[in-house]
Amino acid sequence: MQDLYREHILDHYENPRHHGTLEHADFTHEESNPLCGDRIRIDVKLGSEGDRYRIAEAAFTGDGCIISQAAASMLLEDVMGKSVDEVEQLEPQHVLDLVGAPLTAARVKCALLGLKVLKTGIKLWKLQRS
């Protein structure tokens, strides 16, 4: 019973890292999981070195189950300073490893919502620039 809701997951849920909104974000994206109503919005500010863009700041808000919100908190902590290209290449398994708890197929979607929002946000930002 404890394995899914282990201490570090509950901690990220209770005390989410990078929680809130950013003023003057370079992009903002929001999505919800239609099945369960989980919702996550992510604001991102980028820093650039030439034409290489990195995640300088990111913040999320949302509501939903513990897994969806804790996974978003862990994801933002993890991607800080990473390049947008790197983030776009992140595999779902990377987030599941961060969560580190056994998830049933139905709950994997909860954990991956944050990654989906972030990747789609980057994609739309790139589209807008080109």
Partner 1 sequence: MTNDERRATGDGRLGAYEVLRPTLDTSRIRADFPILAEQVNGRSVVFLDSAASSQKPVQVLQAMDDVYRHAYANVHRGVYTFSEAATERYEQARVKIARFIGAPAAENIVFTRNATEALNLLAYSYGRHFLQPGDEILITELEHHANFVPWQVLAQERGLRLKFIPISPEGRLALDKLDELLTPRTRLLSFAHVSNVLGAITDPRPIIQRAHAIGARVIVDGSQSVPHMPVNVVELDCDFLVFSGHKMLGPTGIGVLYGKRDLLDAMPPFLTGGDMISAVGFDGPRWNDVPLKFEAGTPAFVEAIGLGAAVDYLSALDMSAVRAHERELTAYALERMSEVPGAKIIGPTDPDVRGGVVTFTLDRVHPHDLASLLDREGVAIRAGHHCAQPLHIRLGLSATARASFYIYTEPHEVDALIEAIYKARHALKR
Is residue 109 a contact partner of residue 35, using CB atoms and an 8 Å limit?
yes
Residues in contact with partner 1, counted by CB under 8 A, come to a total of 18
* Buried-state track 18-53, b at ≥16 Cβ within 10 A, e below 16: beeebeebbbbbebbbeeeebbbbbbbebeeeeeeb
Given the rule CB under 8 A, which of 22-30, 65-73, 80-88, 116-124 is the region that contacts partner 1?
65-73
Shortest distance (Å) from residue 54 CB to partner 1: 33
Q: Which of 25, 28, 30, 36 binds partner 1 (CB under 8 A)?
A: 36
By beta-carbon proximity to partner 1, the closer residue of 35 and 127 is 35
Residues that bind partner 1 (CB under 8 A): 1-2, 4-5, 10, 35-39, 63-67, 104, 107, 110
